[in-house]
Amino acid sequence: MKNHRQAFQQDNKNRGRLLISCPDQPGIVAAVSQFLANHQANIIESSQYSTNPEGGDFFIRIEFECPDIESKKPLLQEEFWKIAQSFSMEWTLSFVHDLRKAAIFVSKELHCLRELLLEWENGDLMMDIPLVISNHPDAKDFVESFGIPFVHIPANKNNRQEAEQQQLKLLEEYNIDIIILARYMQILTPTFVKAYSEKIINIHHSFLPAFVGANPYARAFERGVKIIGATSHYVTNDLDEGPIIEQDIKRVNHRDQVEDLKKNGRIIERSVLVRAVKWHIDDRIIVYDNKTIIF
C-alpha cells in the first residue's frame, strides 16, 4: 500500500492540474496555455466544455508537467490569480503528489467499505486513508487489518450533534480533505455539511431520483421494476438531492425477489462509489449549479 503511493508520488512529483470555470469568452485557452508555457510546463491532457459559445459558461481541466514544480508553487498560484481575475474564474490548482486525505464513514453494511479498501490497497485509489469512522463496531477488525485506525462513535438521531462534534474534531486533527459515506446510514446536520461542502461523497442504493429515501428495493419490487441502479452524489442539505457524480444500472425481471435486487444492487453500489471517488481525487469534477461536469 505504502509502496504504491510512494511510487505514484515520485512519478508525479512535477505534475499539476488546473480546474477552471468562468463565463465563456475568447482568449481563455490562449491565456492559460501561455501561462503554462511561461513556466516551461508541458500540457499532458486537456478537456473543455462550453454550455453555449455565445454567453454561456466555460469549463476546462488541464493536467501538465512543470519542472521543479514544488519550488514554483507559490509563484504559480500568485501569477495565475491575476489571470483568473481578468476572466472572472473559479479555479483550483492542485499538485498531483499531494495526496488527498480521505475519511470513510460506514455503518453495518460493509460491501462498499471493502471495495474501497481493496482498491486502495492495490493502488487504484491514490489517496491516504487516515481513519475510518463508524456508528457500529462491526468493521473494526476488517479496517485494522489494513493498518488503518478505526474509530467507533455511536450516532443516532438522539445524539447526532454530540457525535458530529467528535467526528469534526477528528477530521480536523487528521486534516481530512474528503469524506466518503460508504453506506453510512445517518443524516448529517447542516453544520456538518457546510464544513465539507462538495467534499462529502455518498452512495445511494437507488437510481436517483426514483425511489429516494428508505427501503428502495422493497418499493422497486412492489412496482415491478425492470432495472435497478445506484447513484453516487455530493451531499447537500436536501436529502439525496445533491449533484450526481455517477450512476449505473442492471436489468432484472419478475423472477428476482427483494433479496436478489439487494444482492445485485450491492454489486452496482461498490463500483459506482469507487468511480466517483476516483474522479474526485483525480480532479475530474466541476460542480455546476446542482449538476456535475466530469472530464
What CATH number does the domain containing 77 carry?
3.30.70.260
For residue 217, give Cα distances in angstroms to 225, 250, 260, 265. Answer: 10, 13, 9, 9
Are 260 and 286 within one domain? yes
152 grid coordinates = 467507533
What CATH number does the domain containing 268 carry?
3.40.50.170
Average pLDDT of the residues of the chain:
93
- Distance between CA 195 and CA 225 in Å, rounded? 38
- Answer yes or no: is 1 within a domain: no
- Distance between CA 186 and CA 152 in Å, rounded? 14
Are 114 and 190 within one domain? yes
Are 130 and 185 within one domain? yes
Tens-place pLDDT, residues 133-190: 999 999 999 999 999 999 999 998 889 999 999 999 999 999 999 999 999 999 999 9
Tens-place pLDDT, residues 205-246: 877 667 666 777 787 778 788 888 899 999 999 878 899 999
Does the pLDDT at position 1 exceed 60?
no
pTM: 0.92
- Distance between CA 96 and CA 93 in Å, rounded? 10
- Distance between CA 193 and CA 257 in Å, rounded? 36
Tell me which residue range forms the domain holding 143. 101-294
61 grid coordinates = 481541466
Q: 76, 95, 114 — which closes off a domain?
A: 95
User: Is residue 175 within 8 Å of residue 168, measured between CB atoms?
Assistant: no
Q: 62, 95, 128 — which closes off a domain?
A: 95
Are 204 and 150 within one domain? yes
Task: Return the percentage of the chain with pLDDT > 90, whole number.
Answer: 81
Positions marked active-site: 240
Are 129 and 178 within one domain? yes
Count of domains observed in the chain: 2
Q: 60, 95, 130 — which closes off a domain?
A: 95
Q: Is 184 helix (H, G, I), strand (E, B) or coil?
A: coil
User: Is residue 103 within 8 Å of residue 164, measured between CB atoms?
Assistant: no
Edge-to-edge order in the sheet of strand 42-50: 42-50, 57-65, 15-23, 90-95
Which of 77-81, 86-90, 225-229, 265-269 comes out lowest in average pLDDT?
225-229
